[in-house]
Amino acid sequence: MIIQTALLVGLVLFSALAILLKDLLKAAISLAVASLLLGIVFFRLGAPYAGVFEISVVAGLITVLFILTIALTNTGEEVRESRLVNIVFPLFFVVFIVIDALVMKGLVQKIPALPAAAESGTFGDVLWKGRTLDLVGQIAVILAGVFSVLALFRKRDKHD
Amino acid sequence: MIILFVALPLVVAGVLPLVGKISRRVLPDLLANAALLFLLVYAVAAGRPLIGNGPVLQQLTWLGETVNLRLALDGFSLFMLMAVSLVGLCVGLFSVDYMEHYGAKANYYALLLIMIAGMNGLVLATDLFNIYVFLEVAAVASYSLVAFGLGHDELEAAFKYLMLSVVASAAILISIAVIFGMTGSLSLPAVARALQELNAGPVVGISAALFIMGFGLKAALIPFHAWLPDAHPSAPAPISAVLSGLLIKVSGVYALTRIFLNVFGLTPALSTVLMYLGTVSLVGAAFLALGQKDIKRMLAYSSISQVGYIVLGIGLGTPLGIAGGLFHLFNHALAKGLLFLTSGSLQQATGTRDLREMGGLAKRMPFTAATNLIGSLSIAGVPPLNGFWSKLIIIIALVQAGHPVFAVIAVLASVLTLWYYLLIQRQAFFGKLNERWAAVKEAPFWMTAATVLLAFLCLAVGVLFSLTIKTWIQPAAGVLAEGVQTVIRSWGL
């Protein structure tokens, strides 16, 4: 229970840091740490496949991509942001945490939660047979992402 | 093969950018519109006989093995597929000429087709998480389509849309997680059955509230509407037409309706909440629309108001109310699609969206003026156009169900609607021709053709309204009116 709570608190903390930190590199690393902690939570809750994906793809691959992009584009210029952002986000965050805690406290014994079942079948079964339509959706999301990059970073020869 | 509704647009989208390398214009135009035409013909010709003996459930096999790829087609989903394909095709035709000056046409069509595949997938899905995934497919494509013009306003609107949409997705995802925790299943029939047996009122209430917030944001109901008046006007006109005509209805109204009526079951409390949300939206947005000077912004506010009518009708929960709501959904898809397209013709001809700068354009753009008038009168609910009948059905249903106050509000809001649409018509098309527009010409062929087709449909559906209701609306409304039993009895594989 203590370990679980520590993991969850760490997860929230590093996620908040990822948003609040002004240095992009530090923000990217905070995000990686947050998703590493989330991966561990997945393992402890009996979802090893989700844990493996979370750690390898989100904590690993995506962080590498972020850091590469930051390294290639960072010109050292400070982006000026409105002061309001520095106040509004933490305020909203605290209010959210309080509401969340109150709601969850009220719900803790009321959700007729089912006992966690171990993931059935091999990894291949779960991915290819269990959630096939989601895979089709995933392919569509990836296509949409690729075409978005192609479309939004095109040469603006005619429109401008 | 109902998977074609998802697979075909995706495959065509995948090859379009490659085709675009060979031919920058003609082939992408041809291929994308052929795919959209095929989907429409398939939905209309093959879909209805297919569901003649009740809903079709498809369990696909892949290389000889059964995989979890389950799709369901019933009256409601077929109705939505038909609406998506119909407006999609008109938008595709309009884009042939309109998207010429944006460049990257093949990429544009690819994103449009992915958005349509996402909407079709959502409509056919039989599982909560599948619904979420396809919601995101359509949303991701729509973010970049809103930003497609790459101007400052477009990028800002797309970012705002993205941020609020992510909040909506998070609310939906939390709700799905709560339901999964309670019932141990994600498939709609299993969840519907489990919720009937479980006695977990407060938790169901919380997940319903999260769904209302999430899908309410997607449908842009007041008070979740802040993103729409920025995002819809900023997009290229055909995309505004898809967003307002289809996307808010599929990812907002359809998903909300399917889950609340067929999975949760519409309780009196839920019905009241939906009716109030609908009424606040239809009145509030009508007043907000009145003050707008930007034609597309006015149309965007009008979309919020009309979605209010749809939610009011469906939220009422009586068979007649549901039929009226669905009929209005279809009519609004046609008419708002049409109006966003004519606003695109205006913007392309004059270079402005400000109504105060226009005037007398009917002399220069007679087809655009006439089709715009038909669309306006249709949404305002003037007989014999299609919008009149759907509003009439909603109002009769409200009176029958003993809600005369809601009925009066709906009638008064309809008068407001007529007012601001006549404002558009008068300021843009009637009166003395502004000297600046002396050289303006009618919109190019395909743009005019698409608007004329939609205007003709508004007229035809209005004149043949009883036929439309019998063939399309009643089967769809029947599925919803049966409540949870539809899904539990006939969707369990």
Instruction: Give chain A's largest Cα–Cα span.
Output: 61
Q: CB contact, 8 Å: B68 with chain A?
A: yes
Are B268 and B401 spatial neighbours (Cβ–Cβ below 8 Å)?
A: no
Helix (H) or strand (E) holding B56: strand B56-62
**Residues of A in Cβ contact (< 8 Å) with B196:** none
ipTM: 0.88
Q: CB contact, 8 Å: B21 with chain A?
A: no
The length of chain A is 160
Can you give the pLDDT of all 493 residues of chain B as single tens digits?
A: 788 999 999 999 999 999 988 888 889 999 999 999 999 999 998 888 887 777 777 777 766 777 777 888 888 999 999 999 999 999 999 999 999 888 889 999 999 999 999 999 999 998 899 999 999 999 999 999 999 988 888 899 999 999 999 999 999 999 998 898 888 888 898 899 888 888 777 788 889 999 999 999 999 998 888 889 988 888 999 999 999 999 999 999 999 999 999 998 888 999 999 999 999 999 999 999 998 889 999 999 999 999 999 999 999 999 999 999 999 999 999 999 999 999 999 999 988 888 888 888 888 899 999 999 999 999 999 988 999 999 999 999 999 999 999 999 999 999 999 999 998 898 888 888 878 888 888 889 999 999 999 999 999 999 999 999 998 998 899 888 888 888 888 776 5
Q: What integer pLDDT is reported at residue A92 of this predicted model?
A: 86
Are B50 and B60 spatial neighbours (Cβ–Cβ below 8 Å)?
A: no
How far away is chain B from the Cα of A54, in angstroms, using its nearest Cα?
17
Give the separation between CA B269 and CA B265, rounded to whole angstroms. 11
Give the separation between CA A15 and CA B98, rounded to whole angstroms. 43
Strands B56-62 and B65-73: what pairing? antiparallel
User: Which of A110, A147, A155 lies nearest to residue B202, judging by beta carbons?
Assistant: A110
Cross-chain residue pair B121–A111, CB shorter than 8 Å: no
Q: Which residue of A has its CA nearest to B6?
A: A136
How far away is chain B from the Cα of A3, in angstroms, using its nearest Cα?
22
Q: Which residue of A has its CA nearest to B10?
A: A140
CB-based contacts of B100, cutoff 8 Å, min separation 6 = B25
Q: CB contact, 8 Å: B61 with chain A?
A: no
CATH match of A2-119 with 2.60.120.10 = no
User: Which of B7, B151, B181 lies nearest to residue A113, judging by beta carbons?
Assistant: B181
Phi, psi (rounded to 5 degrees) for B292: -80, 145
Hey, which residues 378-397 in chain B have their CB within 8 Å of chain A? Answer: none
**Residues of A in Cβ contact (< 8 Å) with B111:** 144, 147-148, 151
**Residues of A in Cβ contact (< 8 Å) with B130:** 133-134, 137
Cross-chain residue pair A137–B133, CB shorter than 8 Å: yes
Cross-chain residue pair A114–B182, CB shorter than 8 Å: yes
Give the separation between CA A56 and CA A48, rounded to whole angstroms. 12
**Which alpha helices (DSSP H) does B147-267 contain, by range?**
152-183, 188-197, 201-219, 228-234, 237-242, 255-257
Tell me the pTM.
0.91
Whether the predicted pLDDT of A93 surpasses 90: no
Nearest-5° Cα angle at B131, B2 to B391:
85
How far away is chain A from the Cα of B249, in angstroms, using its nearest Cα?
20
Residue corresponding to tokens 């509000």: B409
* Residue extents of the structural domains in chain A: 2-119, 121-154
Q: Which of B333, B338, B311, B334 is nearest to B322 (CA)?
A: B311
Cross-chain residue pair A143–B125, CB shorter than 8 Å: no
Q: CB contact, 8 Å: B127 with chain A?
A: yes
